[in-house]
Amino acid sequence: MSDHVQNRVHALLHTPALPDLGPGPRAHVQSADTIRTAMEDLKREAGIPERQHQLLTALVLLWHDRLEAAHRIVQEIHDADGSLLHAIMHRREPDYWNSKYWWRHVGGHPVYGPLGATVAERLRREPEAESLAARLVPGGRWDPFAFVDEAQRLASLPEDSPEVTLARELQKLECEAVLQHLTP
């Protein structure tokens, strides 16, 4: 079941462009209603538990720049997973202070280890990313607070700058790690 769910959600995350670090909206994203319908269909088909369904729906909504719709879901989920998605939503708003508030509620999330390894591997391919890797993946674990700081630092740069493009790729890796965690 989890491979089927993961594949279906991954298909919903396919867009021509990666999400911006900020709120968007980008062209060619799906409406909140379309996403909710697709996720309800998947819930019925695969028998996804309600909590998992809500978290996955919020993840897809965030990917498609539907921040307010995602926020309505995650503010009602009072655990580490809900707080994690809540933190990402506020980072993208951008409301950096509030994002860090929610990251503190997350605590030591299980996604930090695998995400740290993936991000470290990705940054090894960048000739000038050694200091970024040291900030974002100290000791091999993802530091979400450092990524909030990086998003804030990059907010004034053009969307097509290499640094912003790389950060958007890291945000995609973050999303994929969360998807893996939510669909074990």
Domain extent, residue 49, equals 2-182
111-163 residue pLDDT tens: 999 999 999 999 999 888 999 999 999 999 999 999 999 999 999 999 999 99
Q: How far is it, in rounded angstroms, from Cα 142 to Cα 10? A: 22
Burial zone of 176 (CB within 10 Å; 0-12 exposed, 13-18 middle, 19+ buried): middle
Looking at residue 127, its pLDDT comes to: 83
Looking at residue 1, its pLDDT comes to: 59
**Number of domains within the chain:** 1
Q: How far is it, in rounded angstroms, from Cα 143 to Cα 148? A: 9
Looking at residue 76, its pLDDT comes to: 97
pLDDT at residue 22 tops 70:
yes
SS (H, E, C) 81-104: HHHHHHHHHHHHCCCHHHHHHHHH
